[in-house]
């Protein structure tokens, strides 16, 4: 995986499913992160090739619950992001999926109480020894590239020191969200702090934070010196943000998203409600897309 001059779809819970990743790729995303999946969850899965729709599914044992779905079409760009707090368990989970994805990423930035209370996500930022243990264990035991995504610490100096330690583990590239754990989305991303990290490392850095239009991509690259740019909410609002052409009308983007969701048999509850339902009704879109595909009972 080459991490220079890439446009990256950020990992987003209940957003980064296969249809949305493929949608972002169609519009120009070079690398697409799946939503975070906890190591405990993937360890309980069987790998099943779904010949009916052409996907590879990781299905929770004893159920029909698809925890992670991918396909050959995204094999060279999809990043499996894992929530973990234990190196041995992380390796066990990574070994299950690593041959079907391009990269295995460790989430070290999520501030949600669920993640932090379990010692995962942003809780790892205060445990550099554990970070080192997890990343080096993965690097030594799987051939798939390993990355991580972090947030800023309370001081730029501390963040740089952590990033340097991460670099020594041999990861391919860290993604840096330009906000601290306590910051909220309304707080501006601190691009200057990302720039400090970029200037201190020799490996590529992916900058993330406050990219809502295509021209913001170049601005954050110039401001931070980052090799690549990661987009989260900007892509959620309109996935055509990755395209250098004129942005598609979001109604057209939503129709394509629903079409892909139907093609890849994604359950309604696991699509992106905010993306589709803000100004439209599901039944309308299901009918429109189902009719165009010749489906008689598309809602079943």
One digit per residue, pLDDT tens: the chain, 300 residues?
899 999 999 999 989 999 999 999 999 999 999 999 999 999 999 999 999 999 999 999 999 999 999 999 999 999 999 999 999 999 999 999 999 999 999 999 988 888 999 999 999 999 999 999 999 999 999 999 999 999 999 999 999 999 999 999 999 999 999 999 999 989 999 999 999 999 999 999 999 999 999 999 999 999 999 999 999 999 999 999 999 987 889 899 999 999 999 999 865 544 444 444 433 443 444 444 444 444 444 333
Q: Is 1 inside a domain boundary?
A: no
- Whether 24 and 124 share a structural domain: yes
> Are 197 and 223 members of one domain?
yes
Which residues does residue 50 pair with via DSSP β-bridges, in sequence order? Answer: 55
Counting every residue, how long is the chain? 300
Domain boundary (202, 217, 243) is at 243
- Report the number of distinct structural domains present in the chain: 2
Q: Is residue 179 part of a domain?
A: yes
Residue 127: CB atoms within 10 A of its CB come to: 14
Based on the fold, state whether residues 269 and 218 are members of the same structural domain.
no
Separation CA 6–CA 171 (nearest Å): 17
Same domain, 161 and 282: no
Q: How many CB atoms lie under 10 A from the CB of residue 178?
A: 25
**218 and 268 co-located in one domain:** no
Among residues 243, 267, 290, the one where a domain terminates is: 243
182 domain-assigned = yes
Kindly state whether residue 26 falls inside one of the protein's structural domains: yes
Residue 280: predicted pLDDT: 40
- Look-up of token digits 């330009």: 178
- Domain with residue 186: its CATH number is 3.20.20.70
Query: Do 117 and 55 fall into the same domain?
Result: yes
C-alpha dist (Å) from residue 201 to 88, 183, 196:
28, 25, 9
- Give the pairing of strands 45-50 and 55-60: antiparallel
Same domain, 174 and 57: yes
The tokens describing 50, both together, are: 């779904």
Note the pLDDT of residue 294: 46
* 177, 219: one domain: yes
Residue 216 and residue 255 share a domain: no
Asked whether residue 23 falls in the same domain as residue 79, the answer is: yes
Q: Which residues pair with 273 in a beta bridge?
A: none
Q: Domain span at residue 197?
A: 7-243
Residue 2 falls inside a structural domain: no
Of 45, 98, 110, 148, the catalytic one is 110
| CB 16 within 8 Å of CB 34 | yes
Whole-angstrom Cα distance, residue 121 to residue 110? 5
Element (H, E) at 114: helix 113-117
- The span from the CA of 153 to the CA of 59, in Å, is 36
Please check whether residues 90 and 167 belong to one and the same domain: yes
Position 267 scores a pLDDT of: 59
Residue 277 in domain? yes
> Of the candidates 177, 181, 204, which has an alpha carbon nearest to the alpha carbon of residue 189?
177
Check if 148 is active-site: no
206 strand-pairing partners? 175, 228
Whether residues 57 and 171 share a domain: the answer is yes
């Amino acid at each position: 995986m080459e991490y220079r001059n890439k446009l990256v779809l950020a990992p987003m819970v209940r957003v980064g499913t296969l249809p949305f990743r493929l949608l972002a790729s169609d519009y120009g995303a070079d690398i697409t992160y799946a939503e975070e999946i906890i190591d405990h969850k993937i360890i309980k899965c069987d790998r099943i090739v779904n010949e009916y729709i052409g996907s590879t599914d990781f299905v929770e044992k004893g159920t029909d619950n698809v925890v992670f779905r991918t396909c050959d079409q995204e094999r060279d760009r999809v990043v499996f992001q894992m929530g973990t707090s234990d190196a041995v368990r992380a390796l066990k989970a990574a070994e299950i999926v690593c041959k079907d994805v391009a990269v295995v990423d460790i989430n070290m930035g999520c501030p949600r109480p669920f993640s932090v209370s379990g010692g995962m996500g942003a809780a790892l930022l205060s445990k550099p020894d554990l970070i080192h243990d997890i990343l080096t264990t993965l690097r030594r035991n799987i051939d798939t590239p390993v990355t991580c995504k972090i947030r800023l610490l309370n001081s730029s100096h501390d963040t740089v020191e952590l990033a340097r330690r991460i670099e020594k583990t041999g990861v391919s590239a860290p993604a840096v969200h330009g906000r601290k754990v306590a910051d909220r989305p309304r707080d501006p991303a601190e691009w200057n702090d990302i720039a400090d990290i970029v200037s201190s490392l020799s490996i590529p850095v992916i900058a993330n934070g406050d990219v809502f239009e295509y021209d913001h991509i170049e601005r954050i690259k110039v401001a931070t010196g980052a090799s690549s740019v990661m987009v989260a909410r900007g892509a959620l609002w309109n996935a055509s943000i990755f395209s250098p052409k004129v942005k598609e009308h979001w109604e057209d983007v939503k129709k394509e998203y629903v079409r892909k969701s139907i093609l890849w048999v994604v359950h309604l509850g696991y699509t992106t409600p905010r993306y589709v339902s803000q100004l439209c009704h599901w039944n309308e879109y299901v009918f429109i897309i189902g009719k165009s595909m010749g489906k008689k009972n598309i809602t079943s």
